[in-house]
Amino acid sequence: MPHIWVEYSANLEADIDIPSLLKTTQDALIDDGTIFPFAGARTRGVPIANYLIVDGHPDNAFVHVLLRIAKGRSEEAKKAAGNRVFEAVKDFLSTVSASRPLGISVQMEEADETLNYKTSNYREYLARRGISETVAC
């Protein structure tokens, strides 16, 4: 962990470099790797084709970031991470926000400790590639 979902209204795809938005979001959460491990990050872009925003005007758009993290971080660390992500996403989207109706939200959830099953060999492959598992690329 962390796992990151960046949901966005599909009407933004022509206006946003989605891979750059995902990297910006992940980098902001991981920061220096001391609280959230880089090797645990899974970030997804999820276009939403069917949505209704406010009055239904076709220019209305949204980006919603869901951060799912494992338990064990202090409230201060979680708040700082959430703020970093929110500010980074707002900054990334500032041009779009200046030109159309746009809602931006960030939500953090803690995963259930007992019902959270996972395995990966990412750390092994990061080591083979010569990439530190604690620092974002």
Check whether 135 has a pLDDT greater than 60. Answer: no
The answer to whether position 34 is within a domain reads yes
The tens digit of pLDDT for each residue in 58-83 reads 999 999 999 999 999 999 999 999 99
The answer to whether position 21 is within a domain reads yes
Q: Considering the entire predicted model, what is its pTM?
A: 0.87
Per the listing, tokens 């926000």 go with 97
Mean pLDDT across the chain, nearest whole number?
92
The tens digit of pLDDT for each residue in 38-64 reads 888 999 999 999 999 999 999 999 999
C-alpha torsion angle, residues 12, 23, 90, 1 (rounded to 10): 110
User: Residue 119 sits in which domain range?
Assistant: 3-129
CA pair distance 70, 22, nearest whole angstrom: 20
What's the domain count of the chain? Answer: 1
Check whether 112 has a pLDDT greater than 60. Answer: yes
The answer to whether position 134 is within a domain reads no
CATH code for position 124 = 3.30.429.10
Query: Are residues 27 and 87 in contact, defined by beta-carbon separation less than 8 angstroms?
Result: no
